[in-house]
Amino acid sequence: MENSIREFTQTLAELVQGRIGKGHTVKDHEVVKNNGVKYNALLIGKEGRCISPTIYIDPFYKAYREGMTMKEIVEEIVKVYNSSMPESDIDVDFFFDFAKVSDKLFFKVVNYEKNRTKLEGVPYRKLMDLAMVPLCRMNSAAIGEGVITITNEHLKSWEITEEELWENIGESAGRVAPLKISSLLDVLERLSGSCIDVPPLCGISVVTNTSDNYGASAVFYPGVLPELAKDRECDLYIVPASVHETLVIPDPQMEMDVDHLIGIIAEVNRTSVAEEEILSDSLYRYDRESGKLFVVKEKAEA
């Protein structure tokens, strides 16, 4: 009987350990990503080093099922490890000195319910049915640019409160992961490579950050929604396209059936968005007069 991917990963860990030799540790590991999506991986550590490259096994399992031998896979994993292991280690002092990170903080937004377990031990902020997760962008000569999730243990080490953390995030997020706003029409034309004649789309904006990675948070940066509402002179609907971007729809621009739009969001999430990238099935509305943001369904039911 063919091995399951867990058994395959465990066997692979033993074979790689034998191949890579002394001074290394190879552990099979289940990586839980956003929304509880799980991947199988090997963590390969080297004695005296802080960095342990994570090598995802799922593609190798697919190759194995298609005929690639275990020996070939082991050799390929060793090659991946050798090419990804940096020559120098990271500066661990980075994790103990808040002065080194205070201007590198930003955040992402994820679905609260789908990530409740993953959020344990993280000083997140609840935002309707979402969670704002604190991040730190780090640059290292050893590993280049990376992002780490801030935990309660970091706060203890830095001797700061959650309030101090989020105050710094509010000040630095727009610099660390700058806001990017494009018209939906421009985005569609760029993707299709041709001119699109759909006038109603002109009022819809795509809001993300300049890296287009976990950029849905950008719409919640301080002042962004008030400024957009002021510019459009109306209330706004916010559609959670994915964890990477949101759509902002000016209220007067389109005569919308809100229930239908909510249905479309859910359908698109089920059929067109990767499970790991789904943000929410909700539709949000920003009330320009009160400055409040809410889930449309919640207000309708109130």
pLDDT value, residue 301: 44
Q: What percent of the chain has pLDDT over 70?
A: 84
pLDDT reported for residue 258: 84
Residue 235's pLDDT is 92
- Going by pLDDT thresholds of 50, 70 and 90, the confidence category of residue 254 is low
pLDDT of 286 strictly over 60: yes
How many residues are recorded in the chain? 302
**CB of 193 closer than 8 Å to CB of 200:** no
pLDDT digits (tens, 9 = 90+) for 51-82: 778 899 999 999 999 999 999 999 999 998 88
Find the distance separating the first CA and the last CA of the chain, reported in whole Å.
56
pLDDT beyond 90 at 192:
no
